[in-house]
Amino acid sequence: MQSPKTEPNKTVPPPIRRPAIEGVAPEIDAGEFPIKRTVGENVVVQADIFADGHDVVNAALLYRAESEGKWREAPMRFVDNDRWQGQFRIAAQETHLYSIEAWVDPFQTWIRGLIKKYDAGQDVASDLLVGADLAWTASKRATGADARSLTNFAAQLTTKSKTDLAAGVATARKDELAAVILRYPDRSESTVYEKQLVVSVDRQKARFSAWYEMFPRSCTGDPQKSGTFRDCLARLDLIAQMGFDVLYLPPIHPIGITERKGRNNSTNPAPDDKGSPWAIGAAEGGHKAIHPELGTLEDFRVLLSKASEKGIEIALDIAYQCSPDHPYVKEHPEWFLHRPDGSVQYAENPPKKYQDIYPFHFEGKAAAALCEELQSVVLYWAKQGVRIFRVDNPHTKPLPFWQWLIAEVRREYPDAIFLAEAFTRPKLMYRLAKLGFAQSYTYFAWRNSKAELTAYLTELTTPPVSEFFGMNLWPNTPDILTAAFQTGGRPVFISRLVLAATLSASYGIYSPAYELCENRAVATGSEEYLDSEKYQIRIWDIDRADSLRGLITDVNRIRRENPALQRNERLRFQRLDNDQMIAYSKVTEHPPNRILVVVNLDPRNIQSGFVEVPMQEFGLAPDAEFEVEDLLTGASYRWRGSRNYVELNPEKLPAHILRVRP
Catalytic residues: 392, 421
Instruction: Please tell me the distance from the alpha carbon of residue 349 to that of residue 224, in angstroms, as a whole number.
Output: 31
Give the list of residues 6+ apart from residue 159 with CB closer than 8 angstroms, or none: none
Residue type present at position 275: G
From residue 478, alpha-carbon distances to 314, 346, 556 in Å are 18, 22, 22
Which DSSP symbol is given to 480? B
Write the burial class of residue 634 (CB in 10 Å: 0-12 exposed, 13-18 middle, 19+ buried): exposed
Give the list of residues 6+ apart from residue 495 with CB closer than 8 angstroms, or none: 599, 600, 601, 603, 650, 654, 655
Q: Rounded to an integer, what is the distance from CA 267 to the centroid of its chain?
A: 40
Label residues 315-343 b or e (16+ Cβ within 10 Å = b).
Answer: bbbbbbbbbbbbbbbeebeebbeeeeeee
Write the burial class of residue 36 (CB in 10 Å: 0-12 exposed, 13-18 middle, 19+ buried): buried
Q: State the helix-helix crossing angle for 426-435 and 399-412, rounded to 10 degrees.
A: 30
Task: Identify the CA nearest to 612 among candidates 641, 637, 636, 632.
Answer: 641
Strand partners, 572: 585
Decide: helix, strand or coil at residue 43: strand
Strand partners, 191: 102
Instruction: Please tell me the distance from the alpha carbon of residue 390 to that of residue 319, in angstroms, as a whole number.
Output: 9
Residue type present at position 374: L
- Half-sphere exposure at residue 402, Cβ-oriented, CA atoms within 13 angstroms: 26
Decide: helix, strand or coil at residue 565: helix
Cβ pair 48, 82 in contact under 8 A:
yes
Cβ pair 277, 321 in contact under 8 A:
no
Whether omega before 491 lies within 30 degrees of 0, making that bond cis, reads no
What backbone torsions phi and psi does residue 463 show, to the nearest 5 degrees?
-60, 150
Give the list of residues 6+ apart from residue 124 with CB closer than 8 angstroms, or none: 114, 117, 118, 165, 168, 169
Task: Identify the CA nearest to 44 among candidates 27, 20, 69, 65.
Answer: 27
Instruction: Please tell me the distance from the alpha carbon of residue 199 to that of residue 93, in angstroms, as a whole number.
Output: 10
* Number of CB atoms found within 10 A of residue 187's CB: 16
Instruction: Please tell me the distance from the alpha carbon of residue 12 to that of residue 52, in angstroms, as a whole number.
Output: 21
DSSP string spanning 360-420? ----STTHHHHHHHHHHHHHHHHHHT--EEEEE-GGGS-HHHHHHHHHHHHHH-TT-EEEE
Decide: helix, strand or coil at residue 29: helix
